[in-house]
Structure 1
Amino acid sequence: MTRSSRPEQPKQDKPPSTNPLRSLALPVYVPALVFAIGTGAISPVLVLAALSIGFSEAGSSAAVGVFGLVGVFAAPPLGRLITRIGDRRALISAGIVTMIAILVSISALVIGEDNQPFAKSAFVVSLVLISIGANIWQLGRQAYVAESVGTSWRARGLSMLGGMTRLGQLVGPAFSTLLIGIWFIGSVFWLSFATTLIATVMVVMFLVPPTPPTSAHVLAADSATPPENLIRSSHAATKPAPGKIAKDSQLGGTGGTPEKTVPSPFATAIMGIGINAIAILRANRNVIVPLWGAFLGVDETVITATFTVSALVDSIMFLASGGLMDKHGRLAALIPTLTVMPAGIIIMLAWQTVPGFVVGACVLGLGNGFGAGVVMTTGADLSPNQNKADFLGLWQAIANIGTAAGPFIASGMTHAIGVSASLWTTAGIGLAGAAWVTALIRPAYRRLGMDLRGRPLQ
């Protein structure tokens, strides 16, 4: 077909001039925030709930530890499940499973004193199911945003998703504190049930199922002008020839995305090591800040308040993180995260006073905020064009290795040498990670056929 004979494009086929993330507010971002408020509310009371059921202190820690272990081992099969049944069905199913699990937790709290063996078993099973539901929600939404938003908006889209989760985890504990003060521990679980129900209903009402390939999609892919009302599309109606570039038919798409049929083991290994340096920093932050505060003799209320302020600084940074990655490349988030967080630790070590502790902890939170969405964004960059959830499940498991290993590293260094050794080791891992990604991220992304902004190489 010649240019002159090509049908005239309707007005609605022009690229959207407004922020494409607005169309994802009701189907993705608001449900993510509501769901995170519920999970954030129960997180600080899980140990207290386990103790009230009859677990010992060590048993309570072990029971709650199951919650984290499930995320490491269950993510890959959950990713395959999402690919098989689709994002929308997976999210709805996860919401239902989570609500059932919360009801089991409430039942365990009610019958704990009368039948402790049954209550303990039921509580552990409920934690496993809640963790599975939370992981499906994370993977499903991540895959949906990665496939729905054009390359030029990818980091901002995923950083916004990460920001909603962080805000929920900040607001949730405040609600749980209020509810425990007024009623009892079980009321926090009822709040989580209500937020999960609301989030699931929003998915049912607003989340658009995948759109099958049509002639409109073919035309959009051919002309690189995505329809304005297209919230989700297939990557292309026909498979591009090997080595060709598949043009975006997504919200906010510009240019194209390299056609990746299989993940790159080299790029995945390079980025996996760098991301795990961030994961260790993040996990150890929750350990070393209270440990160092106690070592310095800081009052517990000051430690708690400092943690809250640090989390607040962390939470608001997602607004800047995505823009930095989209405009200046992934290193614009990776390097500040891997250097500013260690800088906060070094401030605490060098300035061993209460002001030094507070400033260092806040700098630590600032550094973590620079990396809002960076794990999800790099995972989306690494993932193949088809069956993204399969790879994202594996990627989540890889990223969780550092989360699981970090506290053990801090504990081992503290036991062997002292508290300061755990801080120095954590800071050193972060700086080593910064050097690693600085040296190797470019060849890793070249292997993927893209630049550091996730766009195809020219």
Structure 2
Amino acid sequence: MTPTFPFREVVLGALIPAFIFSTGIGALLPILAPYSVERGATLATAGVVAAMLPVGQILADLPAGQLAAKIGDRRAMLAAGSVAALGFLSAALAPSVITLAIAVLLVGACNAVFHLARHSYLTAVTPVGNRATVLSTLGGVHRIGQFVGPFLGAGVIHFSAMGAVFYLAAATALAATVTVWLARTPRPEQPQGAVSSATQEITKPRFWKVLGDHRAMLATLGSVGMLVGAIRGARQQVIPLWGEYIGLDPTTISLLFGLAGGIDMLLFYPAGRVMDRWGRLWVGVPAMTMLGISMALFPLTSTGAGLAGVAMLLGFANGWGSGIMMTISSDVSPAEARPQFLGAWRLLTDIGLGAGPLILAAGAAAGSLAAGVWAAAAVGPLAAAGMQRWLPRYSHHANRTTRRRAGVAD
């Protein structure tokens, strides 16, 4: 019986590197804006520098898929980790705010390549019966890394200076790269009658053909991914924004944010097991519905205790959806053009992640943060309805009924 988490292929080849790399990114996130101000940037400029990380990721999503298709998933991870280390070092040594922003943009691009390549790699090496468990665990270790990172960064700052966090991040990028290299998984054997690798390279679909062949799926199910990204992006900002709105101090807000994150991290494994056993809809639809409900409750709170209860529900909802979009995109991705397809898919979800906080900001700018929160909350049920509508059309693993129809039931 094949283990769910083969050590060399899955744990050493992807999960440990994902944790290490995410720890470095997590350490970087809280200090980007303050470090920019320390280097002479205004608050507005510091916000732009911090935004270079997600901007770099969005810009690199499509090229990341092409790169992984051309050189392979593991080589793409090795390249991304090595260049990310250079980006972190460049940020630490940046002589101006402009060069700092360019270095952060480079790190964001490397983050996109590393994320996509390990996602594509795990899809290829994991049996479909364990896919959701493995990918939800990947999402879980990513969350744990980003949770641990700020604490490591705080320790570095306490004993050194803020700029030293970039050296910590560079060390984690190099450590993740070395771990991927140590895995050195053998190339999977070609099935009987398979064409040669040279012929495969010649006949590999071009990127724009991949988009054209799957445009209907990307326009429908891909739009669901964008909605999921949007409510998750809003989720990251709603606790600090509403906490500030009701007058909580920064320490309390940070504790509530950590409380939600802690609950979030507890659920990735059971969520993956449910997806593998019962189908993806059993996790995706409840998670998006609960995210919408919990978001809608924020404007009804006015105390720290009330906000804590809603934050815990928010963490539970997001944790229950751990790995759902990675699993769905793996299920529907074409084997012959998986990296290119996943690059297009990640672009849609990353655009959603960027748009989510803008919904909250639009409400606040219009004079009602509560209206912005409720508008973002409405995205959750929309995502759940879209998933219920479109996933059974494109995936055999939507639920047990679709599996039986396809002849792949347990």
Please confirm whether the aligned pair reaches a TM-score higher than 0.5, indicating the same fold: yes
CA distance in 2 between counterparts of 1:279 and 1:434 reads 12
Q: How does 1:365-380 map to 2 (within 5 A)?
A: 365-380=315-330
Aligned counterpart, 1:69: 55
Amino acid at match of 1:151: V
**C-alpha RMSD of the superposition:** 2.2
CA distance in 2, matches of 1:64, 1:300: 20
Match of 2:372 among 408, 418, 422: 422
- Judge conservation of contact 1:347–1:356 (CA < 8 Å) in 2: no
Residue number among 42, 47, 66 corresponding to 1:80 in the alignment? 66
Alpha-carbon spacing, 1:428–1:451, altered in 2? closer, same or farther (3 Å): closer
Return the alpha-carbon distance in structure 2 between the equivalents of residues 48 and 294 of structure 1: 19
Q: How does 1:48-447 map to 2 (within 5 A)?
A: 48-108=34-94, 112=95, 119-213=96-190, 217-218=191-192, 237=194, 264-445=214-395
**Which amino acid in 1 is paired with 2:4?**
N
Counterparts of 1:262 and 1:388, CA distance in 2: 14
* Structure 2 contact 135–272 (Cα < 8 Å) conserved: yes
Q: Does the CA contact (< 8 Å) of 2:239 and 2:256 recur in 1?
A: no
Separation in structure 2 between the aligned mates of residue 141 and residue 305 of structure 1, nearest angstrom: 31
C-alpha displacement at 1:170, in angstroms?
Answer: 0.3
CA drift of 1:311 comes to 0.7
Q: Deviations over 1:46-65 (max 9, x none)?
A: 11221122211101111221
- How far, CA to CA, are the matches of 1:128 and 1:330 in structure 2? 34
Q: Which residue of 1 aligns with 2:206?
A: none
Report how far residue 451 of structure 1 moved.
4.8
Q: Deviations over 1:327-346 (max 9, x none)?
A: 11111121122111122223
Distance 2:334 2:140 in 1: 25
Tell me if the contact between 2:280 and 2:398 (Cα under 8 Å) persists in the aligned partners: no
What is the deviation of 1:347? 3.0
Residue aligned with 1:185, SS = coil
2:166, 2:308 → 1: CA distance? 32
One-letter code of the match for 1:197?
Answer: L
Shift of 1:212: 4.9
Letter in 2 for 1:86: G
Structure 2: gaps (5+ residues) = 197-209
Whether the 8 Å CA contact 2:17–2:176 is kept in 1: the answer is yes
SS in 2 for 1:184: coil
May I ask how many residue pairs the two structures share in their alignment? 391
- Aligned amino acid, residue 194 of structure 1: A
Deviations 1:208-235 (A, max 9, x none): 153352xxx43xxxxxxxxxxxxxxxxx
Kept after mapping to 2: 8 A contact 1:44/1:173? yes
**DSSP 3-state at the match of 2:336:** coil
Deviations 1:409-455 (A, max 9, x none): 2111222240110111111111222222223322233xxx6654795
Tell me the TM-score normalized by structure 2.
0.90
Q: Report the CA distance between 1:19 and its aligned residue.
A: 2.7
1:25 CA drift (Å)? 0.9
1:37 maps to which residue?
23
Provide closer, same or farther for how the CA distance between residues 185 and 96 of structure 1 changes in structure 2, counting only shifts above 3 A: same
Match of 2:41, SS state, is: coil
What do residues 164-189 of structure 1 show as CA deviations (whole Å, max 9, x unaligned)? Answer: 11110000001111111121112211
Is contact 1:268-1:382 (8 Å) kept?
A: no
TM-score, reference length from structure 1: 0.81
List per-residue Cα deviations over 1:121-163 (Å, max 9, x = no partner). Answer: 3212211211121111101100000010111111111111111
Q: Distance in 2 between matches of 1:38 and 1:322?
A: 25
Q: Which residue of 2 aligns with 1:19?
A: 4
CA distance in 1, matches of 2:398, 2:369: 41
Q: Supply the distance in 2 between the matched residues of 1:450 and 1:27 (Cα, whole angstroms).
A: 26
Distance of 1:266 and 1:141 partners within structure 2: 26
SS of the equivalent of 1:132 reads: helix
1:257-309 alpha-carbon deviations (Å, 9 max, x no partner) = xxx99853333322222222221111112222222112222222111100001
Letter in 2 for 1:157: V
C-alpha separation between the residues in 2 aligned to 1:382 and 1:351? 40
Aligned residues with identical type, % of pairs: 29
Deviations 1:345-389 (A, max 9, x none): 233333433211111011111111111111111111121011311
Q: Which amino acid aligns with 1:457?
A: A
Is the radius of gyration larger for structure 1 or structure 2?
1
Structure 1: distance between partners of 2:85 and 2:211: 36
Alpha-carbon spacing, 1:296–1:154, altered in 2? closer, same or farther (3 Å) = same
Distance 1:280 1:206, change over 3 A: same
Q: Does structure 2 conserve the Cα–Cα contact (< 8 Å) formed by 1:343 and 1:363?
A: no
